[in-house]
Chains A and B, each alone.
Chain A
């Protein structure tokens, strides 16, 4: 009886497991590359995104101190490769087609951006024992103007008051 049950479980599990295993088959491709700027200097810590065009699935890797990266294993298919890093324009991208077992090498030249923007978290303390803390909006400079500052009175029994 027990053997029959085990056999039945195997019969049910086998197709299911094979179905789940199929996508892992053939993941033997890789992409390597180098990220550099206009002067051919290495761009370290750029986030390189490899996107399979058909499925939209993405993998990311961080370029090393010499600007190099390697992404594997990947399935055969068409891929879009792009790199981003602050102070550089994010449009550097390449397309590669990977056949089974193949490897592609790509060079990604990044162009410096003129303006760098940030969204910031700011805080300050005022002289009257109250705290002014607010998050600034998006701006190219010191633009905190998009959000109203909020003044909050500190509790006088706070153990953290000076």
Chain B
């Protein structure tokens, strides 16, 4: 007789456990149709970096948003420029903004931007890769690291940086391209801060 309520309860319990680890909804908004290989690599890299600090991501597209999917936390990421290797963007010695996160009234907002063109200009060996698919995958991995860095700001609500790992205050192209470059777990123990 008690089987039904017990089963119902167990299902609810399972749902609650899953909800306790509910993912952060990250909505991607592309300027131009991206390379699938680059997007796959970007998502994989960013998911892997955040998974190591216990944060799961549910990827969504702004273009498919119907305004009715709830999340505990949301971040919107605009990807500007062409997110695919084109073989035509020259390298530059100018300062390049790779990514930004918005701030209003001293409060970090969950709106970030990743500049695909800037990353491509910074890494000509990827932009001019002879194998376009491999180049796109390599580009995606770097984009994933820039994105993960911006998510660090957007999710924690902090403009501050750590002294090591993906959240530190400077990064080299070698780090951005290396086999393993991610967050130090301690970075994510910071509490959301209000910028003074």
Contacts and interface: CB of A to CB of B under 8 A. Distances in A.
B12 A24 contact: yes
Interface string B152-170: 0100000101000000011
Contacts of A70: 67-68
B4 to A, nearest CB: 10
B111 A86 contact: yes
A62 B170 contact: no
Nearest to A137: B159
Given A13-B10, A89-B104, A158-B174, 14 more contacts: A14-B2, A14-B9, A16-B9, A21-B8, A24-B15, A47-B110, A58-B72, A60-B25, A62-B62, A86-B102, A113-B105, A123-B173, A126-B93, A127-B93
Interface string B86-112: 000001111111111111110111110
A45 interface: yes
B74 to A, nearest CB: 4
11 contacts: A14-B9, A24-B12, A47-B76, A62-B74, A62-B76, A85-B111, A86-B104, A90-B104, A123-B98, A126-B93, A144-B95
B170 A150 contact: yes
Interface of B is mostly: mixed
B74 A47 contact: yes
B125 A18 contact: no
Interface string B121-161: 01111000000000000000000001001100100000101
Nearest to A16: B9
Interface of A: 10-11, 13-14, 16-18, 20-21, 23-24, 45, 47, 58-66, 68-72, 84-86, 88-90, 113, 116-127, 131, 133-135, 137-138, 144, 147, 149-150, 152, 154-155, 158-160, 162
Contacts of A126: 93
Contacts of B52: none
A96 B175 CA distance: 49
Nearest to B99: A121
B8 A160 contact: no
Given A17-B6, A47-B76, A61-B71, A152 B172 contact: yes
Contact of A155 (B9, B71, B105, B174): B174
Given A47-B110, A89-B105, A90-B109, A64 B65 contact: yes
B68 A121 contact: no
Nearest to A25: B12
Given A45-B29, A118-B100, A10 B13 contact: no
Nearest to A20: B13
B27 interface: yes
A121 B100 contact: yes
Nearest to A84: B109
A59 B95 CA distance: 38
